[in-house]
């Protein structure tokens, strides 16, 4: 049955010139990164606190050690590699078919695959900054500063404690002193709003797209999921392992993994 749907998807892509891809956690599960809500996903894993509480702004402020222990061990995956979905989307962009990728993921795998136009709605673990002076830090630097684990796909050991990463740049007001501000991931936590520039860019691209491909997302995380309402083009394609509440809106629905589907698409 999916064979005919793949042919239909191929035809839609061939006839499109302004495709936007809107993706969620399911895009990266094939790279070994667990999603948030499926069986075995991040929210089902055992921890001292519920994961949705740990990745909230108030928890970051009040319990930074526990936050960074979870963050470095469960959210940073530096050894993860782009899968077939990431690579195909980068090919489509290079061929001039794909306008941009709008992603809810924070792993940076689209850029690692070669995509240039990526709107990261929830930020990226690859960027971290000092809240006091604005100095930038890589994910590698954060892991070393915390000293409590590494990439989640390496299955690091559980460490009881974790160092809080403090900025080691010189203080902007007194260069004889170290800044010592707490470094924060450039990730949108619960209780925080989305970046207006990112949202506006994503909305603009979705609004001018002739085809919107939605993949690997359950479309339950708002306000991000609501962005598909700005699409007024010809084709909505939904590719997800399970049903979503937007299935009835789509021209084409494929219940399968996004990587398995996209790897069968040819770039004409």
Containing 126, the helix (H) or strand (E) segment is strand 123-130
122 flagged as catalytic: yes
**Cβ contact 57:191 at 8 Å:** yes
**Cβ contact 79:153 at 8 Å:** yes
- 53/1 Cα distance (integer angstroms): 41
Instruction: Indicate which residue of 57, 86, 110, 122 is catalytic.
Output: 122
Q: Give the DSSP per-residue string, 5-31.
A: HHHHHHHHHHH-SSEEEEE-GGGTGGG
Six-digit token string for 217:
């997302």
Question: Position of tokens 């954060």?
Answer: 142
Six-digit token string for 167:
């900025």
> What positions carry a catalytic annotation?
122
């Amino acid at each position: 049955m999916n064979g005919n749907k793949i042919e239909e998807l191929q035809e839609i892509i061939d006839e499109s010139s302004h495709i936007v891809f809107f993706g969620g956690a399911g895009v990266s599960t094939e790279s070994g990164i667990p999603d948030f809500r499926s069986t075995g996903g991040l929210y089902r894993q055992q921890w001292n606190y519920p994961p949705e509480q740990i990745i909230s702004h108030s928890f970051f402020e009040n319990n930074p050690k526990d936050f960074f222990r979870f963050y470095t061990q469960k959210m940073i995956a530096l050894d993860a590699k782009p899968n077939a979905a990431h690579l195909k989307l980068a090919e489509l962009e290079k061929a001039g078919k794909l306008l941009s990728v709008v992603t809810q993921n924070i792993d940076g795998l689209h850029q690692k695959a070669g995509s240039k136009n990526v709107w990261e709605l929830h930020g990226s673990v690859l960027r971290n900054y000092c809240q006091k002076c604005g100095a930038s830090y890589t994910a590698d630097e954060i892991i070393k500063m915390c000293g409590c684990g590494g990439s989640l796909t390496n299955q690091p050991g559980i460490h009881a404690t974790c160092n809080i990463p403090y900025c080691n740049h010189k203080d902007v007001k007194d260069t004889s002193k170290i800044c010592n501000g707490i470094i924060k991931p450039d990730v949108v936590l619960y209780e925080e709003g989305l970046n207006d520039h990112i949202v506006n860019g994503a909305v603009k691209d979705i609004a001018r797209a002739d085809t919107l491909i939605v993949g690997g997302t359950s479309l339950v995380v708002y306000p991000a999921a609501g962005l598909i309402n700005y699409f007024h083009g010809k084709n909505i394609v939904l590719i997800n392992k399970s049903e979503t509440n937007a299935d009835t809106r789509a021209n084409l629905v494929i219940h399968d993994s996004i990587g398995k589907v996209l790897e069968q698409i040819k770039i004409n």
